[in-house]
Amino acid sequence: MLYSNLTKQDNLPRLYPWITMTGLEIREIHKSFDSQPVLRGISFQQSPGEILALLGPSGSGKTTLLEIIAGLVEPDSGDCLWDGKSLHGIPPHKRSFGLMFQEYVLFPHKNVRENVAFGLKMSGEERGNLSDRVREALKLVGLAGFEDRDISTLSGGEQQRVALARSLAPKPKLVMLDEPLGALDRTIRERLVGDLRQILKTASQTALYVTHDQEEAFTISDRVVILGGGTVAQIGTPQEIYYHPDSPFVARFLGMDNFLEGEAHVNDLGSVIKTSLGEWQTGRDWKGEGSALLRPDRIQIATDVDSGLPCLSGTLHSCRFSGSTLQIELDLDLIRIQFSSNEEGLDIPEVGDRLTVCFDPDKAIHFYPDAHPGIKK
């Protein structure tokens, strides 16, 4: 009974208050390859039981950082700690971390039971415990009763679950998943990402999830670390990052590219944002020259009831119907803005049509002092 309680990380502080668990801590990690910096002082912390997503474009250093944490690559400087203790010099097999890549490589000549048991054997699990642990892991991932199935008879999603069961069976301190759904088609991937979060939460499993897909990261994680140019661009919950991107780089990475050169002036109501498309009052205290973001998800096609909101009129450049939304590009005096509309029953406009849109400045505008649209800061 004592052992089973100890494997539930979230129970430790409650059952044993003298035990302090701080989880994973990354301190000022630097790494270069062939004199080219890949990681430039990466630092963050991850609490026990937390699912943390590492999100960023290709080449941002996500996989390199994961390999450093796993002990597969040595950093040039900095340190990784677990529960306050340095992992420097500890080989991968002694870190008690699990690692699952996109190419999860199941053994085709072994059945499901044997594939899951392989991870347990590698971790030194006693033979007498193997069968019970295999059954527990398969039940956790929704594959109870699959022990004797041949790998070749499983779907891609089922094979991914077997690989996950193999990673979770040894009950690692931390499981790291590097683009684990990347090899699956879109329909299966969308279904499994929610299941994967539930599986990890049910197991009280601390997890580090690497992806370049924003929707995937937001769906599965408690918090997100966005990497860009080898640095941490922003850390926060999915909601914090989506609604309050810290920089033009983060906003652009999230698909928000409506930037205008502007200037903010403080007044009694907050600040006025002056741009080439107009002046808009906001409730925020911004000031100085910079870049104004006009959020595409807060722009809507104008109707009579919107008459009290600022409006812009332009010529339709393109319109794409994606089932749930219209993706629209509108030309406004040599400036092109993008937005999406999900209004039911809306007639799809034609290229070249005149279109009027409106927005609430307090919801649609974010201002970045000292940043300019041409500089991706």
Q: What is the pLDDT of residues 116-147, one digit of tens each?
A: 998 788 776 666 678 888 999 999 999 999 99
Q: What is the dihedral of CA 167, 23, 80, 205, to 10 degrees?
A: 10
The whole model's pTM is what? Answer: 0.85
The pLDDT value recorded for residue 48 is 95
Domain 2-248: CATH class, spelled out? alpha beta
Listed range (9-18, 60-69, 162-171, 184-193) with the worst mean pLDDT: 9-18
SS3 string, 344-368, reads CCCCCCCCCCEEEEEECHHHHEEEE
CATH of 249-369, one of 1.20.120.80, 3.40.640.10, 2.40.50.100, 3.10.20.30: 2.40.50.100
SS3 217: helix
DSSP string, 105-173: ---TTSBHHHHHHHHHHHTT--GGGHHHHHHHHHHHTT-TT-TT-BGGGS-HHHHHHHHHHHHHTT--S
Do residues 254 and 57 lie in contact, with contact meaning Cβ atoms separated by under 8 Å? Answer: no
SS3 331: strand
Q: Tell me: the pLDDT tens digits for 80-104?
A: 999 999 999 999 989 999 888 777 6
Any idea where the domains of the chain sit in the sequence?
2-248, 249-369
Listed range (44-58, 192-206, 345-359) with the worst mean pLDDT: 345-359
